[in-house]
Structure 1
């Protein structure tokens, strides 16, 4: 049991010794006067703690519980629960040695993970400290899943490179086969390099590095850069890139990050669209929110997949995603960039009828051009004016 838990136990014991007189004292003195007594002061201190603190008597009845304990379901006048915790309290009384355990309490569908420290007090009482560690468990679970997913994603191109290099060594006398294997090696190495780059980008966005100081970012410039990045891919599939909506909008943040987010969204729209279709980038001002929408005429996304597509490595269509060179990290990066800018990203789609991703960001209320909305089509094969 740590120093904080030991101190909490000692202080809880002090509070217990005074609690027996609290009802009469509070009745006689009034709430305000009672709050100025030692017992009232200790009660205020414990109720201010985020950690739950209980004092349990020799019959495993809760004699005192602060607000933090009450939030976890431990209230004064009730029996200590569950049975395993009562047994642990009895063991602490018998051995006078502090113990620690982690339990899941509450609803089986959404349990609360709690670290429980128990320390002995005089007169067969024990102090119980309750710390909600549900978020720590969630983060640990995400970390394990992330490591497993990274290992799986890297295993595929690494294994392919090994096999292709062996095949290339055996094809030294066959120029056509050697050229074919070389092309495949370049494809797999590019895919692995992209995966590593996006992993590093995601790690940086999640707090591995401090965020850059925010500046005023003009959305027109960001959209132009995102379209330029995707011009070659769009031209290869005869896809037209159309820019519509309000001009002169601005937000506060990082221009590089926002260009990455929009580049990912436009790139995805092109990758999952058939040839000779249109990808539209629209901007609008909705109150104090700038909305940037990227709409395609592609395969669409099923409703059950829309809830998960922003998760790392989740693919609605794994086979198609691998064929397009996707890593499963692009939309996760977009989500984190939106969050870093105080905004969010949403999707609206129906299978077979395309998808629309909307990036919503707080506006800085700085519009350079308040004229009527402008619409213009940008041929992917022609330089933008």
Structure 2
């Protein structure tokens, strides 16, 4: 191509040189030949620019030309055709993706790193009340005015999905999960969980109602059992088998009462929203009272209980709920630690927040069970709960209390090496002064 172009240009110059030699004006001939070639090239360049300008709006065939400019026109046209085919393929792929996502019942939303809407499917528009194209480019938090959602948008990385009320439909519950990708862009998955929420509410109400209805007859039964026991104790002729039967009946009635109380507490924790409490719960007297009760629970087993707490430290929250959570952890440590074992209750603070640890050197737990320990009625060994009198709800209560206080629990344990439960509280809920060890 280059040799052909050079040969043609040299031919034009040779013609100009020959014409100039005939006219006895060699340089004038060269000048005229060069000028003619430049004018022709300028005209071709002008045609090229005009074609490119028109091709930007719609596809057109290239102008007819010859030589090097004809090759340029044809080469650009071939590139343009390949580009248009690739563009059409990409457009078809995008169209198929949009059609498939539009058919989903779950909402999908794409937002930039600032939280502004870029694209969403039909389901997301219906669930959140988004309007195309009016809401495009708008901050999503301006359209979904929910403090919980706004906080989730700001701190969504690595967090579990949240549930909020639909801003477009009453009595509909939405679950929203956010995935961060690219340069901070967000992909939101919106799911209608109203049916699951209704079933969960029905289950919670059923458990609460049944527990409440069982409380009164069980109280009556326990009262009569206590009366019968007192009467039999006063009668020296009472057969031992009757005393043993009444003792077992009282023991099982007490266990059922504890189970009902735990069910009612758990139902209340699940059914009510946590309040933004401003009460500062003093940790040292709270934990000291729990440790003293644990010593009484230990009785003849003589467990070694140690408390390390910061005098004056406090957690913002509900006193009764925190007492229930902490006492469950400490009492479990006593129940599942052999006689003479050690139980450490320790509170400390670092740059991440406040932490309450309950550690024992008891029987321990196989790590395979740890992910399910906070499930209601989950038992590592079913026979152990009958021996210790546990209800299987203690750790579920602990988890729900901590969630209501913006806290979480971490568990580590190995068989024969004891267990360690740590409650982690955010800095916003703690306060600390000096230290006392007892």
Query: TM tier, shorter chain?
Result: 0.5 to 0.7
C-alpha change, 1:310 and 1:132, in structure 2 (3 Å) is same
Q: 1:71-110 counterparts in 2 under 5 A?
A: none
In the alignment, which residue of structure 1 is the partner of 2:432? Answer: 367
**1:124-175 alpha-carbon deviations (Å, 9 max, x no partner):** xxxxxxx944574377379669969x99xx9xxx9xx99xx9xx99x99752
8 Å contact 2:316–2:430 — kept in the other structure? Answer: no
8 Å contact 1:217–1:255 — kept in the other structure? Answer: yes
Q: CA RMSD in A?
A: 4.0
C-alpha change, 1:296 and 1:174, in structure 2 (3 Å) is same
Aligned equivalents of 1:318, 1:355: Cα separation in 2: 18
8 Å contact 2:366–2:415 — kept in the other structure? Answer: yes
Aligned equivalents of 2:123, 2:309: Cα separation in 1: 52
Secondary structure, counterpart of 2:327 in structure 1: helix
In the alignment, which residue of structure 2 is the partner of 1:235? Answer: 299
In the alignment, which residue of structure 2 is the partner of 1:325? Answer: 389
> Is structure 2 residue 402 aligned with structure 1 residue 338?
yes
1:207 shift after superposition: 2.7
**1:197-250 alpha-carbon deviations (Å, 9 max, x no partner):** 111111111134764833011211221121122221123311011012544322
> Is structure 2 residue 66 aligned with structure 1 residue 66?
no
C-alpha change, 1:132 and 1:365, in structure 2 (3 Å) is closer
Secondary structure, counterpart of 2:431 in structure 1: coil
> Is structure 2 residue 275 aligned with structure 1 residue 275?
no
In the alignment, which residue of structure 2 is the partner of 1:22? Answer: none
Q: 1:1-385 counterparts in 2 under 5 A?
A: 65-66=121-122, 68=124, 132-134=191-193, 136-137=195-196, 140=199, 174-208=238-272, 211=275, 213-244=277-308, 246-363=310-427, 364-369=429-434, 374-376=436-438
1:296 shift after superposition: 0.7
**1:35-57 alpha-carbon deviations (Å, 9 max, x no partner):** xxxxxxxxxxxx9xx9759xxxx
Secondary structure, counterpart of 1:331 in structure 2: helix
Aligned equivalents of 2:406, 2:337: Cα separation in 1: 30
C-alpha change, 1:51 and 1:274, in structure 2 (3 Å) is closer
**1:234-290 alpha-carbon deviations (Å, 9 max, x no partner):** 233110110125443221101121111111100000000000111100111021511
- TM normalised by structure 2 equals 0.49
Secondary structure, counterpart of 2:415 in structure 1: coil
Aligned equivalents of 1:273, 1:135: Cα separation in 2: 44
Secondary structure, counterpart of 1:181 in structure 2: helix
Structure 2 unmatched runs, 5+: 1-56, 58-101, 109-119, 128-189
8 Å contact 1:293–1:356 — kept in the other structure? Answer: yes
- The alignment covers a number of residue pairs equal to 248
8 Å contact 2:284–2:310 — kept in the other structure? Answer: no
Q: Which has the higher helix share?
A: 2
Aligned equivalents of 2:106, 2:276: Cα separation in 1: 35
In the alignment, which residue of structure 1 is the partner of 2:20? Answer: none
Whose Rg is larger?
2
Q: Which has the higher contact order (CA 8 A, sep 6+)?
A: 1
- TM normalised by structure 1 equals 0.55
C-alpha change, 1:210 and 1:141, in structure 2 (3 Å) is closer
Aligned equivalents of 1:209, 1:218: Cα separation in 2: 23
C-alpha change, 1:242 and 1:65, in structure 2 (3 Å) is closer
Secondary structure, counterpart of 2:421 in structure 1: strand
Aligned equivalents of 2:256, 2:273: Cα separation in 1: 23
Structure 1 unmatched runs, 5+: 1-26, 28-46, 54-63, 72-130, 377-385
Secondary structure, counterpart of 2:334 in structure 1: helix
8 Å contact 1:239–1:277 — kept in the other structure? Answer: yes
C-alpha change, 1:132 and 1:330, in structure 2 (3 Å) is same
